Each structure stands twice: as structure tokens, then as C-alpha cells.
Amino acid sequence: MHRIPTIKGKNVILRKVRESDIDDRFTIGRHHEFVHMCGGESIAQIEYPNREVWVEWYEGQKNAEYSWIIEYNGHCIGSAGFHHISDKDNSATYRIGIFDSNLHSKGIGTEVTKLLLGYGFTVCKWHRIDLKVLDYNLRGIRCYEKCGFKKEGILRESALIEGRYYSDIIMSILDFEFNSITTK
């Protein structure tokens, strides 16, 4: 299993999940904004989970490769990482979620994304990192663009959410594009 390092930024620490994160995750719960932006169902259909759900979440995070907890002011507030890592194509897919919507639009997502792009391109030496984001997730798109991702295509009406079809946007960044941002 790939061992991830702890990465320290100005305001965040990115680290492996800990058992104490279960309580933070339980306290935050499921915010509608978070679920909606990830393509989940509306709050009426969200079952407020008991602590056991977050124990399972912890186990999943513990066993996930390339997965970091976002620690902010001493608490677990989100997670981010990579999946679909291809050794053949030298690429990976990025994901991020800040669970507490009170902490959105404060620059945390941008800081985390830039730190993990740095890890992906300079440590893992990937050539390409991509992601999928719902077209109505304007905050996410803006955050990714600020980090150097470019829109490269639309999966038309690819997501059925609450009885309506929405499109996903594919975004990507290549190693030399990241290097040109960091050397500016």
C-alpha cells in the first residue's frame, strides 16, 4: 500500500485519517450543499446517520490509497486524494470534498488542491491529473481553474439527480502547465 506523507500548508494539514476523526465527521454530519455538489439527493432524502456510519467511513478512508484528511484548526473538515491511478498512462484522477459548507469559499479548497497537485506532479511524477465536476458546481469549477485545471469536455446529461439530468465537466492539468504556474 502506498504510504502518503503528511503535507503542511499555510492553513491546512493533509494527513492520514485517525480514529479521532470519526467524532469530527459525526459532528459535521451531511450538509445538503456538500451532498448536492457531489451529485447526491436532496436533504429530504438524506438520512441523518448514526455514529456507526462514520466508523465505516473511517475504515474506508484507512484502507483507501492516496487519500488525505483535510485538517483545519485542529479538526477533520474534509478529504481529498487521487484515484484511477494509471501507471501505464502516468495519470490520476483528483477528488476533494469539504464536508462543512460553512467553510466553503474561504480558499481552503484552492490551498489543498495546489498542495496535492504539487505531490502528484513532483513526487509521483504524473503527467496528467483530471477530474469530473457537475456543471452547476460553479464554486468547484472556479477553484479548479484557479489551480490551473482546464475544461476539456462535457459529458452531456450524464448525471440523473432528483429526477433531472445534469452534465459533468471534465477538467485536466498537465505537468508542464503546473510547472509553469509554480515557476511564475
Ligand X SMILES: CC(C)(COP(=O)(O)OP(=O)(O)OC[C@H]1O[C@@H](n2cnc3c(N)ncnc32)[C@H](O)[C@@H]1OP(=O)(O)O)[C@@H](O)C(=O)NCCC(=O)NCCS
Is the Cβ of residue 86 or residue 105 nearer to ligand X in the bound state? 105
Nearest distance from C-beta of residue 142 to ligand X, angstroms: 3
Supply the minimum distance, in Å, between the C-beta of residue 1 and ligand X.
Answer: 25
Between CA 116 and CA 149 the distance in angstroms is 13
Q: CB 70 → ligand X: shortest distance, Å?
A: 9
Residue nearest to ligand X (CB): 109
Q: What are phi and psi of 168, to 5 degrees?
A: -100, 145
Q: Note the residues at the interface with ligand X (CB under 6 A).
A: 34, 37-38, 96-98, 104-110, 133, 137-140, 142-143
Contact 25, 57 (CB under 8 A): yes
Q: Which is nearer to ligand X, 61 or 137 (CB)?
A: 137
Strand order in the sheet with 7-8: 7-8, 12-15, 67-72, 75-86, 91-98, 128-134, 164-174, 150-161
**What's the distance, Cα to Cα, between the start and end of the chain in Å?**
35
Q: By C-beta, is 116 or 133 nearer to ligand X?
A: 133
CB of 47 to ligand X, least distance (A): 19
